[in-house]
């Protein structure tokens, strides 16, 4: 009886052992399969950290205008002919030089002005600006030298290759013939020219 009962219990236990063995084998198979594909997925994610589905734009920013050559129609109407060349050394800082020739009712002469402009928006030569300038002028009909310095504020707009700007400020003129007396005058400038990015 005891041997017969043991045989029945073993017969009942045998299918349970098979089920457990098959389950364990299937679980090991899934573990190995997942381990073989897991590093590949992690490597692909590391190689492409920014997926296109995230909607991030990879287009480069448009270049800022870094050079402008312009003339001042207002000064030309008053008999002062010249041009201004301005270069942005950084997106917020620019230097300019403006040679000129004066004719008309005032004694003819040549002049040279240099200055600095701060563009707070950081868009190169496009936007509002403020800055100082200094210059020197020589009269051709007499030996006379005058020095001038001032500051201006304005706005310049870059439309494609067109540069259009308007500024206003004050400047002081100091002439050798006037001794130490300086004349302070208002200043308005209109700039029309060509911009290069």
Task: Note down pLDDT in tens along the chain; length 197 residues.
Answer: 444 454 554 555 555 566 655 665 665 555 555 554 444 444 445 454 554 445 555 666 666 778 999 999 999 988 889 999 999 999 999 999 999 998 865 678 999 999 999 999 999 999 999 999 999 998 887 777 889 999 999 999 999 999 999 999 999 988 876 566 788 999 999 999 999 88
pTM (2 decimals)? 0.66
Return the domain boundaries, the chain: 2-54, 67-196
Q: How many degrees, rounded to 5, is the angle at CA 59 between CA 56 and CA 60? A: 125
61: buried, middle or exposed (CB in 10 Å: 19+, 13-18, 0-12)?
exposed
Distance CA(128)–CA(122), nearest Å, equals 10
């Amino acid at each position: 009886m005891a041997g017969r009962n043991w045989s029945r219990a073993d017969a009942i236990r045998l299918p349970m052992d098979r089920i457990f063995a098959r389950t364990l084998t299937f679980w090991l198979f899934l573990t190995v399969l997942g381990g073989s594909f897991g590093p590949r997925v992690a490597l692909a994610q590391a190689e492409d950290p920014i997926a296109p589905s995230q909607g991030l734009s990879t287009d480069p920013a448009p270049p800022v205008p870094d050079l402008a050559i312009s003339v001042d129609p207002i000064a030309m109407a008053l008999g002062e002919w010249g041009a201004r060349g301005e270069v942005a050394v950084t997106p917020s800082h620019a230097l300019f030089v403006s040679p000129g020739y004066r004719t008309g009712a005032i004694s003819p002469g040549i002049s040279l002005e240099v200055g600095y402009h701060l563009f707070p928006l950081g868009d190169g030569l496009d936007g509002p600006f403020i800055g100082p300038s200094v210059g020197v002028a020589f009269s051709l009909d007499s030996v006379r030298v005058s020095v001038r310095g001032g500051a201006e504020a304005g706005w310049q707009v870059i439309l494609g290759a067109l540069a259009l700007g308007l500024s206003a400020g004050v400047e002081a003129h100091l002439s050798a013939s006037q001794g130490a007396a300086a004349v302070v005058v208002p200043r308005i400038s209109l700039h029309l020219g060509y911009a290069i990015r």
